Every structure is written in C-alpha cells, then in structure tokens.
Amino acid sequence: MKKLLFILIFFSIISNVSASIKENIIKKFTNIENISFNFEQNINGKIEKGNCIVEYPKKIYCKYNLGNQKTLVSDGKSLVIKTLSSYYFYPLEKTPLDTILNKKYLLKKIKGIKQRNIDDNFINFKFVENENEINLFFDKKTYNLIGWQTVDIYQNISITYLSSIKRNQKLKKGIFELPQQN
C-alpha cells in the first residue's frame, strides 16, 4: 500500500512540474508583443544565418548574412523574399510562417497538446497544420521560444534556431513594409 501511495505521489509531482513548465511557457509567450533574435536556418542541409524581428500577429523582417542581400518580409498578409537578383512574392497563408507567426493560434495549440521533454533542456510541441508538420522548441529554464522545425508537403525540412533573443523592443516604423521589386 505504501509503495502504491509513493508511486501516485511521485507521478503527481512529475505531472505538476510538467504542467508548471507548460504554464510558464504560455504565460511568457502570451506577454510577447515582438521579439528580435539572431537565427541559424538549415533547409535540407543548406545553412543560412541572419537576424529577424517578429511582431505579432504575423509580421516578420529578416536580414540574412549573405552577399546577395537576402531579406524576408511579411506585412501580415503577404511574404516577400528578395535578393539582389530575385524577388519572390507569396500569400502568407500558403507558407508555414502563417502558423508560426500567429501567436494566438500557437497558444491555443500549445494549451491543447502534450509537451515532450528533449535532453532535459528543451520542451517541444508538435502538430500538423495545412499539411505542414510544425515543431516548436522552448528553453526549459527561460521558457523562451528558441526555434522551430517545419516539414512541408514536399517533405522539405526547415530548422530555425534562435539566439540573442530580445522581447518587446521599440521597433522602427515601416520595417514590415514589403520591399518593391527592382
């Protein structure tokens, strides 16, 4: 009987700690208006680095550390990827970023799914949306969003790691205006 009671108390404590981490992630993420960060992105083995600013909902500005001056910008409705020699325009809703940049939707998903612990350092939430598999990663100690992984309908894997994260900074006006084609 004592053994059974011990096991029940142990699992209750583990469950409360796990729920507490999830609650802290939700609380911290809820209070974010914008974040800026450095990133390293791996798309099918091709690595690119740069920095981004995200303003919720659905706005992003990224400048890549490449010689071709690559930028990625979303005004909340459309997404433009521009380099010195190319210009790509997409409806945001047709990309995985539509989900990743939708804080309210992410919070709803996080609240409704079970978390996974990874290496005692990270918390992962995994779900599928519009045929895209999305994994969100949070730091277990700081509760910061530290990255995401997407797998699109063509099985392209994109992994983005965030570092030097700053929350709720004053942003330059007009930063999310879509760049024009040259």
Instruction: Quick: pLDDT tens for 17-39.
Output: 455 899 999 999 999 999 999 99
d(CA 161, CA 14): 28
SS3 content of the chain, % helix, strand, coil (to 5): 25, 45, 30
CA atoms in the 13 A half-sphere facing the CB of 32: 27
Q: How confident is the model at residue 76 (pLDDT cuts 50, 70, 90)?
A: very high
Q: What is the pLDDT of residues 119-131, one digit of tens each?
A: 889 999 999 888 7
Q: So what's the pLDDT on residue 116?
A: 94
Structural domains of the chain, with CATH: 2-167 (2.50.20.10)
